[in-house]
Structure formats: structure tokens, C-alpha cells
Amino acid sequence: MNSLFDKIKSINSIEEATLNLKESIEFSKALEDALLFCIQAHKTQFRKSGEPYAVHPILVASITAHFSNDESMVIAALLHDVVEDTNYELLHIEEKYGIDVAHIVNGLTKISEIKEHELISKVSDEKLLS
């Protein structure tokens, strides 16, 4: 497990991340399409380090594929930030990739919202106590 995370930490390009994902799961047409859509949807987004943002969801998909070869889960991992960080809506994901993928993406989005809300509340509470 640690070797997986050590390898992932050193990946910082879309090409390397894609190769890692392709080593983790057999690629279907749907998975290839989701990968290309992910890259396209995030093409103008970059991390503070300058790394293309799409590297993150591709690596999340690699980790997901390591634990499960469920194609819907891997596709959802690729698309988990599309609804939050781009102009695409969940309906687009559902129409293109199906209801299962859309439900998983929606669930991941809700987890992010809860995490963000809890983090903001915790920080606010800590400030009040100090």
C-alpha cells in the first residue's frame, strides 16, 4: 500500500498519471472517454505548483482502481471534481455516463460539502476558544 502512495506522490503530469491509471485497470471505451472528458473539463485549471489539475482526479481514479475494478467507481473518481469545479452539471454526467456514476459523483460532492462545512465550523470554534 505504501508503495502505491509513494509512487503516486512522485507523479505530476497528466501523461504519468494516465499511465499509472492504465496499469491499474483494463481500459474500456467508456473509461477512455471519461479520462478524456476529465482532462478537457479541467484543461484551464492548475494547482498552485503549476501542475495540471486533472492529475489529481486521475490519481484518485488510480487509487480507486487499486481497491476496486468497478468501472463506475473509477469513472466517478475521474469526474468527482467536474461538477464542483467546472461549468458541467450533474445532469451532464448522468446523461453521458449513467445514473450510477452520477449518484457516486453526487455523493462525493456531498462529502466534500460536509467536510468543508465541518472544517469551517471547527476553525471558527477554535478561534472563539482562543
Query: What residues are labeled active site?
Result: 84-85
Question: Residue 97 in 3-state DSSP?
Answer: helix
Neighbours of 77 (CB within 10 A): 26
- Which residues on neighbouring strands pair with residue 52, listed in sequence order? 46
CA triplet 5, 8, 11: central angle to 5 degrees? 160
Q: How far is CA 51 from the centre of its chain?
A: 15
Cell numbers at 22, concatenated: 492504465
